[in-house]
Structure 1
Amino acid sequence: MRLGTDRLYGATHQFGDPDRHIPARPFLGLDEGERAAILATLADWLAD
């Protein structure tokens, strides 16, 4: 599975750039439940 963007400005939008006074505008939003589910799936996959 791949998630993200191939655009050069993707990281700037996601995390912001304080040096250029650009606030973060995350487009990859995960809540804690989604984050936990992804980490559990990854841990299961790595354990196999």
Structure 2
Amino acid sequence: MSNIGIPGLILILVIALIVFGPNKLPEVGKAFGKTIKEFKDSAKEITEEKEK
């Protein structure tokens, strides 16, 4: 993601606004955040199990 840059992020945001609309965008962001959190928690559990 470090190779995207500011113009790329702006382009992604504009496309997301067009596809989802301004009313749905916060809901999509919230769902994406929950998904990332669950993934990190699962990965942490797996690494803790391997250390035991």
TM over 0.5: no
Pair member with larger Rg: 2
Greater RCO (Cα-Cα under 8 Å, separation 6 or more): 1
TM (norm. structure 1) is 0.41
